């Protein structure tokens, strides 16, 4: 298998295979035993390529499982909807967990086309180093490490224009070759939707074990419609749903501490959705404008504004999440 270079762009990154056109809607997958043979393959321009690819068990899966064996809890942060503050919450979750000096925490940014964790964690100008033990993650603090494609881009604003095959290869590298050492928690921030990154991370980590998914939503029905799809994906993929958090649930004035509704929950919001679908509601986090400021500055909102109702709400969610994974 070809290797990804430590610093990548679309020109220098090798790939396992190159398809002639995007995969059709019901594509069984180029690595599937049914590649080139299913009904969806008829007339597909990729048929000959898929038929020629090696089949059988992925030899990288045991390597991934071995590399992740020192990580106790692995948590996916998911949302079918963009703009609900998923990456923001993943960053705050990482800050909150690492506030316990007895915990070792890792944050993996799987939003390959729109990586934002490095900026939110205050390490945008760092680079990844490669050694005999693999890629060394970037350390935000003594007990908080992070990995993102952002550290490998030639320019901060370089666009990632990749098909699924290149995304899959990078995800494998993050799982197989990053020297995480021992971690209590690995927080994995994913992009919106239910496509390449989600399917790949579930496939590659199935043997190493995923504790489950933390699903993020906002109160309005437009967001809940896509979150329902994400929950359905988790059920079909066999991913345990640890619970749902309702983000931007009301607005907290930083001066008077008064709260008002910005995104009104016309159908009951996240809590009603949890009751309907039988999943755990972890709590609501109000919108505080200083959260955005802290993320822009790459600082911990929880440390800067511990008296904010949003900080209290986030810490309550983290406590409920730790209880859900059995770490009490």
Residue 119's Cβ-side half-sphere holds a number of Cα atoms within 13 Å equal to: 12
Query: At 220, is the pLDDT very low, low, confident or very high (cuts 50, 70, 90)?
Result: confident
Query: At 117, is the pLDDT very low, low, confident or very high (cuts 50, 70, 90)?
Result: very high
Task: Specify the pLDDT at position 250.
Answer: 79
Task: Specify the pLDDT at position 296.
Answer: 94
At CA 172, angle to CA 168 and CA 174, rounded to 5? 115
Task: Specify the pLDDT at position 171.
Answer: 93
Mean pLDDT on 123-145: 91
Instruction: Give whole-number Cα distances, 155 to 16, 117, 151, 296, in Å.
Output: 25, 16, 10, 19
CB–CB of 120/94 below 8 Å?
A: no
Q: Is 160 left (phi over 0), alpha (psi -120 to 50) or beta?
A: beta
245 is in an annotated binding site: no
113 is in an annotated binding site: no
209 is in an annotated binding site: no
Q: Are strands 183-189 and 144-147 parallel, antiparallel or unpaired?
A: unpaired
CB–CB of 106/145 below 8 Å?
A: yes
Structural domain boundaries of the chain? 22-56, 60-324
- Tens of pLDDT, residue by residue over 149-162, are 999 988 888 888 88
CATH 3.40.50.300 fits 60-324, yes or no: yes
Does residue 209 have a pLDDT over 50?
Answer: yes
Task: Specify the pLDDT at position 165.
Answer: 76
83 is in an annotated binding site: yes
Task: Specify the pLDDT at position 42.
Answer: 76
44 is in an annotated binding site: yes
Reported pTM:
0.83
82 is in an annotated binding site: yes
Instruction: Give whole-number Cα distances, 304 to 103, 158, 283, in Å.
Output: 21, 31, 22
Q: Which of 193, 114, 108 is nearest to 160 (CA)?
A: 114
The residue behind tokens 């390529």 is: 49
What does the alpha-carbon distance between residue 124 and residue 149 come to, in Å, rounded to a whole number? Answer: 11
CB–CB of 180/105 below 8 Å?
A: no
Q: Which of the residue ranges 141-150, 261-270, 298-307 would you say has the lowest mean pLDDT?
A: 261-270
106 is in an annotated binding site: no
80 is in an annotated binding site: yes
Task: Specify the pLDDT at position 53.
Answer: 64
38 is in an annotated binding site: no
258 phi, psi to nearest 5 deg: -70, 150
- Tens of pLDDT, residue by residue over 66-101, are 999 999 999 999 998 888 999 999 999 999 999 999
Instruction: State the CB neighbour count (10 A cutoff) for residue 238.
Output: 9
């Amino acid at each position: 298998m070809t290797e990804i270079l430590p610093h990548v762009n679309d020109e220098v990154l090798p790939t396992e295979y190159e398809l002639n056109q995007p995969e059709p809607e019901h594509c069984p997958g180029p690595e599937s035993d049914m590649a080139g043979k299913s009904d969806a393959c008829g007339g597909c321009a990729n048929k000959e390529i898929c038929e020629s690819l090696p089949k059988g068990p992925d030899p990288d899966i045991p390597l991934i499982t071995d590399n992740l064996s020192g990580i106790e809890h692995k948590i996916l942060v998911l949302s079918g909807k963009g703009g609900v503050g998923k990456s923001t919450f993943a960053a705050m979750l990482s800050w909150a967990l690492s506030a316990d000096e007895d915990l070792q925490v890792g944050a993996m940014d799987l939003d390959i086309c729109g990586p934002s964790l490095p900026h939110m964690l205050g390490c945008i100008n760092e680079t990844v180093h490669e050694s005999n033990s693999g890629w060394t993650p970037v350390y935000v603090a003594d007990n908080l490490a992070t990995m993102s494609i952002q550290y490998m881009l030639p320019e901060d604003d370089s666009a990632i224009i990749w098909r699924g095959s290149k995304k899959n290869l990078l995800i494998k590298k993050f799982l197989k070759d990053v020297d995480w050492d021992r971690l209590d928690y690995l927080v994995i921030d994913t992009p919106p939707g239910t496509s390449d990154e989600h399917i790949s991370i579930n496939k590659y980590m199935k043997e190493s074990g995923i504790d489950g998914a933390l699903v993020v939503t906002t109160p309005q029905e437009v967001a809940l419609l896509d979150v329902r799809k994400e929950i359905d994906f988790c059920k079909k993929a066999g991913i345990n749903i640890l619970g749902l958090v309702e983000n931007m649930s009301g607005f907290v004035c930083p001066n008077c501490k008064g709260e008002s509704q910005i995104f009104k929950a016309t159908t009951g919001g996240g809590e009603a959705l949890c009751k309907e679908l039988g999943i755990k509601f972890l709590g609501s986090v109000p919108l505080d404008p200083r959260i955005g400021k802290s993320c822009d500055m790459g600082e911990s909102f929880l440390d800067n504004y511990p008296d904010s109702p949003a900080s209290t709400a986030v810490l309550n969610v983290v406590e409920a999440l730790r209880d859900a994974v059995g770490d009490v």
